[in-house]
Structure 1
Amino acid sequence: MRPRYASLLSAVAVCSLILIFFAACGQNTSSQGIDKPNPKLKTVTLTIGEATVKAEVAMTETERNRGLMYRTSLRDGEGMLFVFDRDQQVSFWMKNTKLPLSIAYIISDGTIVQILDLVPYSEEPRPSARSIRYALEVPQGWFGRAGVKVGDKVAIPPL
């Protein structure tokens, strides 16, 4: 009888571990805080010609993935700078983002290579046309109002 008891105990232990694993994998996103805005991130001042932007810096994957989701306001002259570890093609969407935004895709030397307007709540991917190092989101239309255009250089301080 002793071997059966040990086998039964082993089976219970294995089943318990499997249940714990699946419970951990099945956690909903609200327990991970993904349904809340990013906490206020470190900010830098970016200069683009005569214009300046006070931008929060999203450097980690979690910060970049959350971006400006769930934010309720963003004033002209404010934005979020997304910093990538290497040059790469990227794609942004507006899931859970109610603010109308514009995005500038920026290569590693600070040159803006593309500016797009983004539609609130749209899950349509808006890819960069080429590899970039940075993306800057601002209130929709701010680039035009500030006289910023493709080809302009963004002075990005050390991060």
Structure 2
Amino acid sequence: MLRACFTVLLIISVLNTAGAENQQLPIMKLSILDHVITVELADTASARMIGLMHRRNLPKNSGMLFVFPAPGIHCMWMKDTVIPLSVAFLDKTGKIINLAEMASETLAPHCSTSAARYALEMNSGWFAARKIKVGDRMIGL
């Protein structure tokens, strides 16, 4: 029984890894303050589940925009994500609700503090280095 459970977990892990490496997501440009970024759009359940798992790098000024089906309290974590990331939770108008730094390969939840429609993941420290803060608005959503 234990061996069967291990086999199932191994298969799921391989499938998740393959999905992360092979996912072709739509790309879009957004801007905030004077910064233009390129984001991959995670707007399906499977794309949101895989996110940036198993990626080895994230190009400068690039990220992933998670689009949730409805505004709500949404949480992010870093399972199988080796790149440390910053996340900005955005309301339906694109205003930043809250920001969080996320350590790689952890299951610690990082949640929006109020109803979020989007979450934007960028390289760790990206928002702070550009003095982007709560209340700033993302353009182009």
* TM-score when normalising by structure 2: 0.87
Residue 30 of structure 1 and its aligned partner are, at CA, apart by: 4.3
Q: Does 1:50 align with 2:44?
A: no
Deviation string 1:67-96 (CA, Å, 9 cap, x unpaired) is 000000012200000001110111111010
Residue 108 of structure 1 and its aligned partner are, at CA, apart by: 0.1
Larger Rg: 1
Q: Please list every run of 5 or more consecutive structure 1 residues that lacks an aligned counterpart in the other structure.
A: 1-25
Given candidates 37, 59, 65, the residue that maps to 1:81 is 65
Identity %: 33
Mapping for residues 1-159 of structure 1, pairs under 5 Å: 28-30=11-13, 33-36=15-18, 37-38=20-21, 39-157=23-141
Q: Which amino acid in 1 is paired with 2:115?
A: S
Q: Which amino acid in 1 is paired with 2:87?
A: I
Structure 1 match to 2:3: none
Cα RMSD after superposing both structures: 1.5
Number of equivalent positions? 131
Q: Please list every run of 5 or more consecutive structure 2 residues that lacks an aligned counterpart in the other structure.
A: 1-7
Which structure shows the bigger proportion of residues in strand conformation? 2
